[in-house]
Structures are given as structure tokens and as C-alpha cells.
């Protein structure tokens, strides 16, 4: 049966004064802020250092992430870990999450085909992202791809115009009042899945690593 109701949003599931990422993650497991929870296996929350210098924000979990309950554990995640190492970023300084915490897909036989989350899904899931940032207080946000960029910086954001450049944030954020974090910067780059789809994968990978080297230098 198709979903016809507008998403209620995640705010009612977010603890009023969370003390840790683990507390947020536990609460997010019950989230029904939009219809994506109906077909997804589980909520896929962020993970990493509780006081990370750098937060990576992607789009949404994929098929493997949905089944395992962890972000960036599929092919794109493995490629991202390689790029992080090649860029000289210490994994102990990282936290990684997604703008949308449930997998949106279209079933085709036994396969589940990825579908981009829509604006309503991004808006509905936004309270989780806001709460993560409030606890983490990072120095730098690395935006992975167009969906994450639009979630954080607004619908006019284009990765091709801004990639690899340090930007003031939350001053440039879509709703800066949501992110009470001082002295934070943002850097946009392509999503690692775009490298996997590229005709010239080697060149695309080098571009991703070059962008991440800018991030590494920013927090050095």
C-alpha cells in the first residue's frame, strides 16, 4: 500500500537532552519519522570517534549498510577508507554518518535498487543530524555528494561548483540556527560511489584523495 501521509519528522524520537551518540543511536532505532522505516531493515546511525575532529556526511545507507546496520561498510565505504588513508587522515579523528538514516530502494525481483532520498526524507531526518553535530562539535564537515550537500547547505548547492574548497559553516548552512557549533568549516567532494561509477576510476579516485588532503591540512 503506498504511503500517502506527509512525514511527521524524527524530532519526536530524538531525546530532549542526549548525553552521548550511543543514546541517540538507541533512540533512532525506533524512528518512524518518514515512510522509509517501513521497508528498511533497520536504522543505520553514524559511528566513529565521540569527539571527532572531522565528520563525514553521506547520502543514505545502501543495501549492505541496511543489512548490517553500519554506515559505509559496502564497496563505497571500503573505497572511502582507502582514500582517507591515502589523504593522511587519522581514522581515530573521524565520525561518519548519513543525511538520511534509512535505505530508500525499489524492489526488483530479489534485488533492492537504490533510490535517492527526496527532500521530504532529508527534512524528516534532519533532527538526527542536528543532534549528532551538537554532541560531536567537529572542526570540519566533509560533505560527500550532492544529497548531503543539499541537506546541509540548501537545494541550490552543487558539488561541481564547490568541491575541494574550504567553506565557512554553519554560516553557509541552510538553517544555521540548527547548528550551534563555533569555528567550523565545511568541504564538499564527490561521494565515493561516484568513483565506482566513473569511466576513469583512477582519475576520479585521485580527485577524491586530493579533496581529502585539503581536509587533512585544515585540521592538522
Domains and CATH numbers, the chain: 20-219 (3.40.470.10)
In angstroms, what CA-CA distances link 200 with 195, 203, 204, 205?
A: 8, 6, 6, 9
Residue of higher predicted confidence among 134 and 172: 134
Residue 168 CA to residue 151 CA, distance in Å, equals 16
Element (H, E) at 63: helix 63-68
Pairing of strands 94-98, 54-58: parallel
Residue of higher predicted confidence among 160 and 105: 105
Kindly tell me if the per-residue pLDDT of 2 is higher than 50. no
pLDDT, position 178 = 65
Q: Is 142 helix (H, G, I), strand (E, B) or coil?
A: strand
Whether this prediction's pTM lies above 0.85 is answered by yes
Q: Is 89 helix (H, G, I), strand (E, B) or coil?
A: coil
pLDDT > 70 fraction of the chain, expressed in percent and rounded = 91
Lowest mean pLDDT among 19-28, 75-84, 146-155: 146-155
pLDDT, position 170 = 59
Amino acid at each position: 500500500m503506498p504511503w500517502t501521509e506527509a512525514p511527521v519528522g524524527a524530532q519526536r524520537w530524538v531525546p530532549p537532552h542526549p548525553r552521548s551518540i550511543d543514546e541517540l543511536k538507541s533512540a533512532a532505532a525506533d524512528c518512524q519519522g518518514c515512510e522509509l522505516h517501513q521497508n528498511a531493515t533497520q536504522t543505520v546511525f553514524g559511528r566513529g570517534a565521540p569527539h571527532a575532529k572531522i565528520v563525514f556526511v553521506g547520502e543514505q545507507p545502501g543495501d549492505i549498510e541496511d543489512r548490517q546496520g553500519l554506515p559505509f561498510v559496502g564497496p563505497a565505504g571500503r573505497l572511502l577508507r582507502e582514500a582517507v588513508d591515502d589523504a593522511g587522515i587519522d581514522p581515530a579523528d573521524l565520525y561518519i554518518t548519513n543525511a538520511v538514516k534509512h535505505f530508500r530502494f525499489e524492489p526488483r525481483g530479489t534485488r533492492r535498487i537504490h533510490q535517492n532520498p527526496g527532500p521530504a526524507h532529508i527534512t524528516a531526518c534532519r533532527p538526527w543530524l542536528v543532534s549528532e553535530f551538537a554532541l560531536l562539535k567537529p572542526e570540519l564537515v566533509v560533505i560527500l555528494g550532492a544529497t548531503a550537500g543539499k541537506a546541509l547547505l540548501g537545494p541550490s548547492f552543487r558539488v561541481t561548483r564547490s568541491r575541494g574548497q574550504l567553506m565557512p559553516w554553519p554560516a553557509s548552512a541552510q538553517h544555521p540556527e540548527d547548528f550551534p557549533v563555533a569555528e567550523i568549516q565545511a568541504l564538499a567532494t564527490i561521494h565515493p560511489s561516484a568513483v565506482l561509477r566513473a569511466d576513469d576510476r583512477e582519475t576520479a579516485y585521485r580527485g577524491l584523495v586530493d579533496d581529502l588532503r585539503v581536509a587533512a591540512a585544515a585540521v592538522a
